[in-house]
Every structure is written in structure tokens, then in C-alpha cells.
Amino acid sequence: MRPNYKMSRRMKIENTKAQMRKGILEYCILLILSKKSLYVSDIIKELKKSEMIVVEGTLYPLLTRLKNGGLLKYVWQESSQGPPRKYYELTAEGKKFLAELGLSWEKLVEAINTIKNNDLNF
């Protein structure tokens, strides 16, 4: 029974990590795209640099959902290496959404810091 127990606990930790990442992944994508319109592989590069995603497959459904939600749009651009590529950028609505997310992120960080730094003296 023991190894199984360990295994399931480990999976739970992984799951929590994944949930946390998932929660802020959209924010990260919007942040990256707010700087520059980018191709998927560039977005992936950035996200990998900051160890936000493990596999690329995660990104495609997210991008499609954000695009269909009106936060992103893409333009086709010719590429030297092959077929034309989709370059994603923020829409006006996406920019507004990003600003809102920024505020709530700050609040979250503040909340975490407050909890962390508070000496529980009661």
C-alpha cells in the first residue's frame, strides 16, 4: 500500500502545481503578447524560458479560446521557412482585460505576502 500512497500524494502535488500554472498561464500569454505580436513558437520560447509550460500542446487550445473570446487576434505573415504563420496580438478588449488581470495579480501577490509575513501572534 505504501508506494501507492506515495504515488498518489506526489500526483496531488503535481496537480496543485499544474493548477497554479494553469491559473496564470493566460495572464502570462497576454503579458508576453502585450509587448509584441508574436508567432506561437516565440510565445512557447518565452514561456519555456520562465518554465511556465512543459509541452506545447497545452498552448494551442488556450490561444484558440482567447482568440474566440475576443482577447486575441492573429494576422497571417509570410515566413522564410515555409508556410505562412499566424502572428498573435492583443485586441483592445484584450488590453483592457490584461490591465484588470494585472490589478488582481497585484492583489494576489499582496495577499500571499501578507499571509507569509504575518507572525501569527494571537
Is residue 101 near another protein by the rule CB under 8 A? Answer: no
**Binding-site string for another protein from residue 32 to residue 51, where x marks contact by CB under 8 A and - marks none:** --------xx----------
**CB-based contacts of 91, cutoff 8 Å, min separation 6:** 70, 71, 72, 73
Q: Cell numbers 513558437 label which residue?
A: 41
Residue 13 interacts with another protein (CB under 8 A)?
no
User: Is residue 95 involved in binding another protein (CB under 8 A)?
Assistant: no
- 65 lies in the site for another protein, by CB under 8 A: yes
Compute the distance between CA of residue 94 and CA of residue 30 in angstroms, rounded to an integer.
8
What is the 3-state composition of the chain as percent helix, strand, coil, each rounded to the nearest 5?
Answer: 70, 10, 20
Q: Which residues contact 22 (CB under 8 A, 6 or more apart)?
A: none
Stretch that binds another protein, among 5-13, 21-29, 30-38, 97-105 (CB under 8 A): 21-29
- Residues forming the site for another protein (CB under 8 A): 18-19, 21-22, 25, 40-41, 53-58, 60-65, 68, 81-83, 85-86
